[in-house]
Each structure stands twice: as structure tokens, then as C-alpha cells.
Structure 1
Amino acid sequence: MKQLLALALGPILAVSILLLPEPLFNPIMDKIFAASLWMVIWWITEAVSISITALLPIVIFPLLGVGTIGQVTVHYANPIVFLFFGGFVIALALEKVALHKRMALHILRLTGPKANGVIFGFMLATALLSMWISNTASTVVMLPMALSVYKLVKKKTQKNKKKLQRFAVSLMLGIAAAANIGGMATLIGTPPNSVMLAFLNEQYQLDIGFFQWMTFGVPLSALLLAVAYWIIVRWAYPSGLGLLDSAHDIIEDELHALGPIKRKERTVLALFLMTVLGWVIRGQINALWPNLSLTDTHIAMLGALALFVVPVQKGTKPCVLQWEDTAKLPWGILILFGGGLALANALAQGGFIDAIQAFISQQDQWSPVLILIALVTLVLFLTELMSNVALVTVFLPVIAGIALGLDQPLMAMVIPVTLASSCAFMLPMATPPNAIVFASGHVSVSQMVRSGFWLNLMSLIVILLTNYFLLPLIF
């Protein structure tokens, strides 16, 4: 019943706005506002899949005269969409050959046998994986290994139950937090980063290089990971278990089961490293051969295509990936990018950003610092309740208008708000990693809220500090 009400509410409100005897703004702005409200309501309530909602502009914008179908659909083929597509394909190859699991196990090997070291190892491995594959996939890879470690520790030790319980809670929460944090380090690690990049590129012709973002995102993620470790493992749920020899046994058994590294894995690793290297040295390549005009999207697509054409074995399917493998790609996220860009462009072309800018510029008494703190705080807690991609899509045009109205650097307002949307640590439904570890049965809602609330607050501080001290040095 609730879903039906939410389903009806969006179009009813949209039609009501269009039928008003007097326009709220002007005829074209009213049409865009009505369509935007419809999309926002469906995104917030999830009356239908958020990706299905993202297809609405293709249908309703041409009908309302906001743009032709060609003008609308071009946003669904934005170069940033293909950057993310290439990243998804590379991540798919890593998962198919189990290279991501091998990499994670080798990281865990380095962290030692102490309980806190084991948890930190799981957090570090999860965060590093989440930089390149989805936070859901990184959690799915790490959770079974973490549960195996916990079960063996429980079986082999005679420690008291409270210590074991705290160990399980900190291990689960640590993995979830690390999955969310790791994605912030790269442009393809979490969808909000790519939505922001596409918005800045399309509306303001601002470009952020892949390596350029990493010089900002990696230190930020490392700092947040350290904060998460301290809050979850050292403060909220310290286990006090000490040495865990059994954890080392689990890791060695898992590595033994994988066997020696295979040709497919070596090929995927080589192509992955070549793609990352291409992102790092893109500027130098363009300096040597200016006519290439190489972009991060070029490099991502080259790496993705290579996985379909470079042979690694004999037979009818000699390459790492086949077309049927692409059924596992998160196509919905790519559609969501397109819908978000179409909506943002309509808001910009309709004059909403200019209107916000004009209003804000008249408010002389407003402090840019306080406004930024308020916006980041709002997004930090809203992202617990709605999709971070939908949230960023809705907020970016508003933030841009506020930044321009306050005469502030656009990136100094847009980037911290985008990062805040990935800091959802409090509730199981906030992100897939939270839901996955909650489903393990070792974490209660109250336990997640307790550590997540303080982690949200510390994330606010870390984001603001890096925004004021690190961001100006890079962008």
C-alpha cells in the first residue's frame, strides 16, 4: 500500500504544479520543477527502482517541451558514463579470475596474528579492493573470510563470550566502514564521485584527472580509515583478545585453495596495472603527443576492450571476458548517471542555478564556512536514508548555485558534499556493505548506530579539514 501511495504521489504532485492557475516561477521552470519533484519523490521513497526513475527524463522532458529526445538521451552517453563502464568491466575481470581475493589474502598475511591487527588487515584489504571494485563486491569477498576467522577463533580459544562478541562486532563494522571509505579514494570507487565529475565537466567544463583525484582521495580515505579503526576497534568495541594464531591458518588455507597464480590472473593483473599507470601518466603522454587528446575515459575503455580481445587460453572462448559476462555489470548505475545528468542539465538550462546564485549573493550576512558545515552535515545524515547517487544528483545543482552566489570556488563546495554522501555508517539500510554485515547476525542496529554516529561526526571534521588544507593544493 505504501509503495502504491509513493508511486502515485510523484506524478500527482507534478501534474498539480502544471495545472496551477498562476506559475510558481515561469512556464518552463514550472515544468522542470514538476518533473524534478516527481523524480526526487520516487528516488526518496524508492517507489520503483532508482534506475527506472532515472529513465523518466527520456519520456517526460520531450513531452513537456523541456528538450528533444536527442538532447535528453545524449546525457546517457556522457564520457564519464563510459569511464565508469570501463572501470566496471575491469572490476568484473578481477572478480571473475578471483584476483581480488588473492590480493586481499596477501594483504591479510602482512598484518600479524594479534586480534586488532587481524581486524585492521581486513579493513585495509576491504578499503583497497573498494577503490577498484564496488563496495558491495569488496564486502561480499571479505565477509566469508572474516566469518571463518571468527568461527575458528571461537572454536579454538577459551576466551570469554563478551570478548568474542566484541571481536565479531568490530570485525563486521570495520569491514562495512572500510568498504564505504575505500571507494572515496578513486573516481570509479563510488558512483557519487563520478556523478560529481560528470556534472562539473558538463556544466562548467571543469575536469578532474584520475590521478589528480587520487592525490586528494587517497590521503582522505587513509585518514578516515584510521579514524574508523580507532572508533570501532579501539573505542566502541575493543575485544582484548590478543594473539589469534588460528587467523593465520585460515588465510594460508584460503591461499592454498586458490593454488598458484594462473595465466588469466597474470593477464588481468597486467592490464589492470597498465590502466592505472595510464591514468597516472596521462598528462605526460598528452604533453608528448598533444594530438592524442587522451582522456581517462579513453584509457578505461582501452583496458576494458583488451579484456575481451587479448587471448589467454586455447578454445572457443580464449579471452578473459565474454559478452555474456557483462550481464553481471551494474547497468542500473550507468542509467542512473545519465538520468542525473539530464536532470542537472535541465535545472541549469531552466535557470534554477542562476536563481539560487542570485538569491544567495544578496545574503551578505551568510557565512560560507557555516553554510558548508550545514550542507555537509545535512548530507551526512540524509545519506543514511536515501541513495547516495540520488542524493548527490539532486544536491549538486543546488550546491553549485550556492557556491557561485557566495563567490566561493566551486570545487571547495561541491567536493566535500559529494564525499559526505559516501559516509553512511549508522544504519543497515544506508549502504549495501552495512546491510550485508548486519545480515551476518553479529551486529545489532544499536551497535551500528553507536559507532556510526561518532564516525559520521568525525567524518564531518576530516572532510572539512582536508577541504581547507589539502584541496587548495591539488585543485
Structure 2
Amino acid sequence: MKFSHSLQFNAVPDWSGNYIAYSNLKKLMFQLEKQINQPSTQAPDDPESSPLLTSDDPDTVFRRTLDQELDKICSFYQSKEAEIYGDVADLLKDEEAFEAETEGMDMEQISGVPETFGRPRRHSLFGKFSMGGRKRRTSNISASTIDEEAEDSDEDPTERSTVSNSGILNDRRKTTDANMGQSLDDLRSSRDFSRRKVSVALDDYSDQAMSSVLASGVTLKKRTTSTYVSLCELKSYIQLNQTGFSKVLKKYDKILDRNLKDVYVKEAVKPAYPFRPTTMQHVDENIQKVEKTYADVTFQGDIPTARRELRLHLREHVVWERNTVWREMIGIERKAQAANMGVRRTLLGGDHDPDKTRLQGDDTDEMSTKEVVTPVGRYRCPRWLFSSTFLSLLIILAIFVVLLLVPIMKKREQQNCLAMLVFVSLLWATEVIPLFVTSLLIPFLIVILRVVRADAKPHHRLAPPEAAKYVFASMWTPVIMLLLGGFTIAAALSKFHIAKKIATLVLSKAGTKPRTVLITNMFVAMILSMWISNVASPVLCYSIIQPLLRNLPSDSRFSKALILGIALASNMGGAASPIASPQNIIALQNMRPQPSWGIWFFVALPVCIVSILLIWVLLLITFQPGRGTTIVPIRPMKDKFTGVQWFISGVTIVTIILWCVTHQLESVFGDMGVVAIIPIVLFFGTGILTKEDFNNFLWTIIILAAGGLSLGKAVSSSGLLHTIAGGITEKVEGMSLYGVLVVFCALILVIATFISHTVAALIILPLVHQVGAGMAEPHPNLLVMGSALMCSAAMGLPTSGFPNMTAIMMEDSQTGQRYLRVRHFLTRGIPSSIITFAVVISLGYGLLLLAGL
């Protein structure tokens, strides 16, 4: 959690205006950064920037603001400390008076004869005043007494549900409930004391005197609890503000490349009264005094038990007092996130129809209906029944049924498989239901429609029990393990900021020339995409260049070129290594034999590098980003590599080397999927990655890939793939291998531009392999790898790949306007795709031949 959120969540609501203004200080440092790096761009009559122009030294401006915050905190703390310490002193005096008032009482006589009434309660409000065993409640207890005790318990159904996750906390709550219930019984017993003939000794005390003593004890307990909570809030106030000064100074030094933190903390923060060691020591001493008072009043001097119950009261107080604040803030964040998702659907040209949202599970307009007029009357039907999404689903289902019934293929299993293939492809292409859900539907349809046949001749159709085993076995392959290994390496490199350190180090060497900075960022994005996926790499790159973007004008051409260049380079990086993207994993699954990593690098890296260089030239010509652009150099992270980071880097390098030479070590490891187990075991086994990291893997991608593998297996087993490939082979008969490559690359480029790259690979690559195998001069691996490279090169629309989707959502932090529009992708993305297409069918084709594919 960001410290600004943590400060907001943990602050005492009534004191919220007296904490360090962390967010305002961050805004100030960003303004100072912009003033330093672009003094000429600030208008002298700008009211927001005019205060900053009074001093040329940013340290002076920032220190002045910090001094104001420090004075505010010191003044508020001293007033609060005097108030709370006064309450502590009054509490101790009243506790002494209460002890003196009850000192002369015969407790054994008051509590009753043990043989008759049992032992006094151990955890009653006053153990020495316990009235013996549990007594029958009377009906004439005043409402004020019950209300008084109800207030003391601070119980609320919402609080109870909020803190019920901790077993220990539940036990403590039950103890508190029991204490309060017994205290209430004692008070009720005392109110009806004169009506009971417990013993002769009770006649020595009047009902009024006894009730007065017990009421004083209840009030004293309440005051003790309240004072304890106030002292803990005072302690938290010191700690939060001290952490705030440390964090904001660290951020200031990082953003403006200064060394103010150590000096200011030593000269100003530590000598300040709230942050002196003696101040915290006094707070702890007063907390101990209050704990002892509570123990004497409530638990007969048992301080550990009193401390546990006071902490429980503190926890319940926080839940009760701040529950509304937490709910409101979380609700605001969720609404903002939902709004961003809605904006994303709108910007990307998706169907932002509430009916579509309804079909996918959103119940925001669940009661929305539409009146339908029929010959038999008027009826109201749910509105989502008339949405375009639902109608699309009905059309797809109708096509599926028609293909099942109309005989097209000679064999029943091929007919069913064709219907299933078209049905699944349409669901994937239209995304009327989530992609991974469609993948999970595949094994169900395979078994129900009985489309798979036995591998051995004669190829008879498998019965459902055998078909189920067959299809589930095809969903978990060594390729899926390779994907998991890639996710593990990516998680470790990201979690411990190894990728960010390397990226900032490289970018810091780029200088300040716009064209150099642009090409450096593009190659960094490509390299990161090779190892941490082209989904996460653009997000990381955009976080690194934020200081650069903040210091550029809102309409800067360089900002647009940089963001778009990172997105296009990340797309190309998705083809650079076998684990960079799911389509590469699917390509490996369709290649026999699977090429080594060395061969993949030999073909893919030159194609990616040349393509990025040509795209860079295109961006320079179309954007002309060097005009009037002043670049703020990116500074590397100063933290040194830790032992854990060196360990992660070593394991990653060794794993990659083993992947590259797997074919030479096939007698040892057997498959690349087995090598992928090494980083999984080492990173998760040593605790570097946790169960939460494992749960955060892109499991939807894994399910999507597994479903695609089962689909490919079914299409091949049924004989449909062989039949379709034979027909296509007849059409391309007489065409050279190069001509077939051009045809398939163009086909998959068009398809992958409009649908997911992964989905395009799932549908097309098995067919490409089969056609290549059926040619007079078979080169199935060449065609498959060339087509896989083109999957990543489809980047003509904002929806063409995750990097493009991330890029179009980038906004200027000052104006809130998006940097890129759809036209930027149409005018630069489509030419970039065509350029890459030309590189693949020229340079890529030559390298594929040299590699012997």
C-alpha cells in the first residue's frame, strides 16, 4: 500500500488535518522538478507556479514547507499531550480515591459464603465485589443501566464481522462479552440487592451505597479504556509523522537528485519535541500506568490480562471509529477502477453497452426491463435479452447447431469437430464470454461430441470415458510447465526490482538527445518483454519514464512517440524468446521437433532488432520528436544488489542457458518443461516467492493455452485437420515454400490485428503445421515459426495486443488527457505492422532457411 493511503487509513479521523501533508509535499516536489528542468516553460504569470519562482534553490523552498509542517505537528502534539496527560493524572487520582473508598469493606462477606454461592467470578468487572454464582435476572432493571453497559461493550454486528477473521481476536471478544455480561449481572443484582436475602452481612450495606460503588467502578473502567485509546493514538501520531518525514525526504532526494534527507532529519526532525526519544518514553510510561490502573480495577492486579483486554478495546475502537472511512475510501477506489474500465472499453472501440456488461455478470441494472408487444399481450422481459452481445451469442449457437446437422464432412467425428472448431473460434473472436471460459468449454464438447479417435489403427471413435482421459492428458504438457517457469522468473525479476534496476541503468546512459532516448527505451522494452512478458514490460517502462513525462509539455510530440514506441517495441519483444508470449508457447507445441532456444534466438532476435530500428525511423519521420524538446535524464537506482537479487539473477541465467542447450542435454532433462521446474522449486522453496505470488500468475492465459492444446489435439485426432490441410495444399499446389509463407503471414497478420494474438495462434498455427507437412518439400516448422512471428507483429489497432491497450490508457498527470488517440495507431501502427511483415518474409525467411527449419 502507498504511504499516502496508509497515512489516510491509519490517521485519527478527528486529527486528520494535523498530520504531515504528504500528498501536497509530493505535488510540490514535482513542481520543483519541473521548474529546475524546464525553467523557460513556466509562464511568469502562472498563479500556481509563482510561489516557486521566489527562490532558485529548491532545497530552500522545500525546507520552508517542511518547517511549516513540522511546526504544525509540534504545536498540535504539545496541546494534545497536555490534554491527554491531564486526563491520565485525573484518572490516577480517581483510582486512588476509589481504592480508598472500598478499602474498609469486608469483601468476603459481600461476595457471599463460598460454600453457598460458589467462588467469585475471576473476570467480573470487580473480582473482589463478585456476588457469587450467576443469579436470575429481574425485570425491573432501569433502561439507563443497560444502555450504560451497552455503550461500554462497543459491540456492533459490523465490527464483529470485520474482526472475526482472527481466531485469537474472537476468543478475546468472547472474553470481553463474558466480562460485560457478568458486570451487567452484578449491577442488576445490586439494583435488586435489597429484595434478596443472601446473608446477614448484606444488611450492613445499603442498596444505595453498593450501587454507588459499582457505578463508580464502571465509570472508572470506561475512563481508563478511553485514556488508553487516546495514548495509543498519540503514539501512533508520532510514528506516522516520523515515517512521513522520512519517506517524503527520500522521495525528494530521488526525484531531484539531492541529499537533503539525512541533513534535515538530523537538524530538524529528531530535535523536534514529538520525535525525541524521551517523548516516546513518556508516552510508554503513561500507557503502563493506565494498564496497571485497569488491572487493579478490573482484574485484581493481573497486568498481562488487563493489557490483552485493553488492546482488544483499542482494536474494536479503531474498527468502530474508522470503519466508515475505510469503506468510503475503498468504495471510491473501486468506483474509479470501474470508471477506468468503462473508459477503456469506450476508448478501445468496444461495446460499452450496459446490456453486454449484464451478460458478463454485472448486476448494476438487474431490474431493467423492456416491454414487448406480442399477439397474446404485453410482456416485460429483461433488457439484456435484446443486447447485441446476447444476439451474437444466439447467432453463434445457431451456426453451431446448423453445422452439427448439415452434412459437410463424410465422417461423423469430423463433422462434429468442424462444428466445434467454428463454434469455439467465433466465441474467441467475438469474446461474448471470457476467453478462458471458452477454453474450458472445449474438453466438454470434445467428450460430448465424441470427436477424438484412437491413435492406433484402426482409428475408432473413443467412448466418453477414454475420450475424457485423452483430452485432459493433452491439456497438461511440458509446454505448460515452460509457461509456468517463465511466469516464475518474471515474478522474481519484478518483485525484487531486478528488471527495473537494469532498465534504469541502461536508460541513464542514453543522454538527453530525443532520438537516442527513444531508441534506447524501445530496446529496453523489447528486452524486458523477452523475460517478464510483453504484458508487464510496458507497465514497468511507463513507470520508469514518469519523471521524463512530467517535465515535458502536455502536447509534446516526444511524449507521444515515446509511449507509442515502447508499445510497438514490446509487441516485437513478444516474439524474441519462447517464453515472451503465449503464442510462442503454442508455436513450440506445433513444431516437430521443437527447436532449441539458440535457434529461436538466431531467427527472432535479428528480425525484432531490424523491425524496431525501422519502426524507430518511422516514428522520427512522422512525429519529429526533437523539435524544442528538453529531456530530463533518467537516474539509475542507487541501491546495491543484495544477496537475494544475485541469487535470482544467477538462477535465471542458469535456467536460460539450460533451455538453450536442452537438445544437447536431452538424455538428462528430456524436455524444456522439466528445466522449468528448477526456478519454480528454488524461488518458491526458499521463500523468495510466496503462495500469493503463485496465485497471481496469469492463470487465465494458462487455461487459454491448455484449451487451445486440447482443441488442436482434437482437430488432429478426428482427421479434420488432415482433411482441411489437404484441401488447402491442393489450392497452393505449385506455389513455392516462400509463396506459402507469404500467404500465411499475411492471413495471420490480418486476423491477429482484430482478435487476440494468442487466439489467432490457437486457430491458425495447427493448420499451418499440417499444410507445411503435406507439401512436396515439407517445412512445417519454418511456416509455423514465421507465422508465430507475425502474430506479435499485428499492432495496427489499440486493441491489437496488451502493450497497445496499456499505451492508449496513458494519461498526462497534470491535465488528465490521454497522450495517444486511435489515429496514432492507425497512422503508425499499421505501417509498423507492414514493415515487420516485410522483414519477416525477407530477413526472417533467410534466417529460417539457414537454421534448417
Give yes or no for TM over 0.5: yes
Match of 1:130 in 2: 529
Which structure 2 residues correspond to residues 38-437 of structure 1 after superposition, within 5 A?
Answer: 38-67=423-452, 68-154=467-553, 165-200=556-591, 205-232=592-619, 234-241=620-627, 244=630, 246=632, 248=633, 251-252=634-635, 255-256=637-638, 259-286=639-666, 290=667, 292-310=668-686, 319-363=687-731, 364-407=733-776, 408-437=778-807
- Range that drifts further, 363-372 or 63-72: 363-372
Shift of 1:209: 1.4
Percent identity of equivalent pairs: 24
Higher relative contact order (CA 8 A, sep 6+): 1
Q: 3-state SS of the aligned residue for 1:406?
A: coil
Match of 1:314 in 2: none
Question: Partners of 2:506 and 2:579 in 1: how far apart?
Answer: 22
Shift of 1:245: 5.1
Sort the Cα spacing of 1:400 and 1:429 in 2 relative to 1 into closer, same or farther, 3 A.
same
Query: Partner amino acid for 2:488?
Result: V
Maintained 8 Å contact 1:113/1:243: no
Where does the alignment leave 5 or more consecutive residues of structure 2 unmatched? Answer: 1-386, 453-466, 811-817
Q: TM-score, normalised by structure 1?
A: 0.88
Q: Alignment partner for residue 824 of structure 2, among 441, 447, 453?
A: 447
For residues 345-380 of structure 1, give each alpha carbon's deviation from its aligned partner in whole angstroms, at most 9, with x where no partner exists. 111122223223433444445454334323212221
Once superposed, what is the RMSD of the aligned Cα atoms? 2.0
Shift of 1:285: 4.1
Maintained 8 Å contact 1:138/1:179: yes
Question: Partners of 1:342 and 1:214 in 2: how far apart?
Answer: 28
Q: 3-state SS of the aligned residue for 2:433?
A: coil
Sort the Cα spacing of 1:49 and 1:194 in 2 relative to 1 into closer, same or farther, 3 A.
same
Sort the Cα spacing of 1:65 and 1:377 in 2 relative to 1 into closer, same or farther, 3 A.
same
Q: Alignment partner for residue 7 of structure 1, among 377, 387, 393?
A: 393
Query: Partner amino acid for 2:780?
Result: L
Sort the Cα spacing of 1:242 and 1:400 in 2 relative to 1 into closer, same or farther, 3 A.
same
Question: Partners of 1:227 and 1:44 in 2: how far apart?
Answer: 31
Maintained 8 Å contact 2:558/2:629: no
Maintained 8 Å contact 1:353/1:398: yes
Q: 3-state SS of the aligned residue for 2:551?
A: helix
Shift of 1:18: 1.8
For residues 136-190 of structure 1, give each alpha carbon's deviation from its aligned partner in whole angstroms, at most 9, with x where no partner exists. 2101111122232022143xxxxxx8xx622111101100011111121100011
Query: Partner amino acid for 1:173?
Result: L
Maintained 8 Å contact 1:356/1:405: no
Question: Partners of 2:509 and 2:737 in 1: how far apart?
Answer: 45
Question: Partners of 2:474 and 2:438 in 1: how far apart?
Answer: 15
- Range that drifts further, 369-378 or 264-273: 369-378
Query: Partner amino acid for 2:567?
Result: A
Shift of 1:329: 0.5
Shift of 1:472: 1.4
Match of 1:467 in 2: 844
Question: Partners of 1:281 and 1:365 in 2: how far apart?
Answer: 38
Q: 3-state SS of the aligned residue for 1:92?
A: helix
- Range that drifts further, 184-193 or 398-407: 398-407
Maintained 8 Å contact 1:31/1:66: yes
Query: Partner amino acid for 1:86?
Result: G
Q: 3-state SS of the aligned residue for 2:803?
A: helix
Sort the Cα spacing of 1:432 and 1:245 in 2 relative to 1 into closer, same or farther, 3 A.
closer
Sort the Cα spacing of 1:227 and 1:86 in 2 relative to 1 into closer, same or farther, 3 A.
same
Question: Partners of 2:790 and 2:403 in 1: how far apart?
Answer: 32
Question: Partners of 1:242 and 1:338 in 2: how far apart?
Answer: 51
Maintained 8 Å contact 1:132/1:183: no
- Range that drifts further, 361-370 or 90-99: 361-370
Query: Partner amino acid for 1:304?
Result: I
Sort the Cα spacing of 1:5 and 1:437 in 2 relative to 1 into closer, same or farther, 3 A.
same
Maintained 8 Å contact 1:115/1:242: no
For residues 263-298 of structure 1, give each alpha carbon's deviation from its aligned partner in whole angstroms, at most 9, with x where no partner exists. 332221121112112223434445xxx3x1442212
Question: Partners of 2:631 and 2:396 in 1: how far apart?
Answer: 56
Question: Partners of 1:142 and 1:119 in 2: how far apart?
Answer: 12
Question: Partners of 2:703 and 2:414 in 1: how far apart?
Answer: 24
Please tell me whether Structure 1 or Structure 2 has the larger radius of gyration of its CA atoms: 2
Question: Partners of 1:379 and 1:285 in 2: how far apart?
Answer: 34
Q: 3-state SS of the aligned residue for 1:282?
A: coil
Sort the Cα spacing of 1:176 and 1:362 in 2 relative to 1 into closer, same or farther, 3 A.
closer
- Range that drifts further, 429-438 or 274-283: 274-283
Q: 3-state SS of the aligned residue for 2:653?
A: helix
Maintained 8 Å contact 1:57/1:72: no
For residues 181-237 of structure 1, give each alpha carbon's deviation from its aligned partner in whole angstroms, at most 9, with x where no partner exists. 11211000111111011122xxxx4211122211221122111111121112x2221
Maintained 8 Å contact 1:360/1:405: no
Maintained 8 Å contact 2:755/2:800: yes
Sort the Cα spacing of 1:243 and 1:235 in 2 relative to 1 into closer, same or farther, 3 A.
closer
Maintained 8 Å contact 1:42/1:53: yes
Maintained 8 Å contact 1:86/1:300: yes
Question: Partners of 1:50 and 1:71 in 2: how far apart?
Answer: 23
Question: Partners of 1:285 and 1:358 in 2: how far apart?
Answer: 36
Question: Partners of 2:727 and 2:696 in 1: how far apart?
Answer: 46
Shift of 1:343: 1.0
For residues 396-450 of structure 1, give each alpha carbon's deviation from its aligned partner in whole angstroms, at most 9, with x where no partner exists. 2322233234324112222111111111222111111111111111111111111
Question: Partners of 1:293 and 1:172 in 2: how far apart?
Answer: 42
For residues 282-321 of structure 1, give each alpha carbon's deviation from its aligned partner in whole angstroms, at most 9, with x where no partner exists. 34445xxx3x1442212221112110123xxxxxxxx211
Question: Partners of 1:218 and 1:241 in 2: how far apart?
Answer: 32
Question: Partners of 1:384 and 1:272 in 2: how far apart?
Answer: 33
Maintained 8 Å contact 1:184/1:193: yes
Query: Partner amino acid for 2:744?
Result: L
Question: Partners of 1:228 and 1:455 in 2: how far apart?
Answer: 6
Maintained 8 Å contact 2:575/2:584: yes
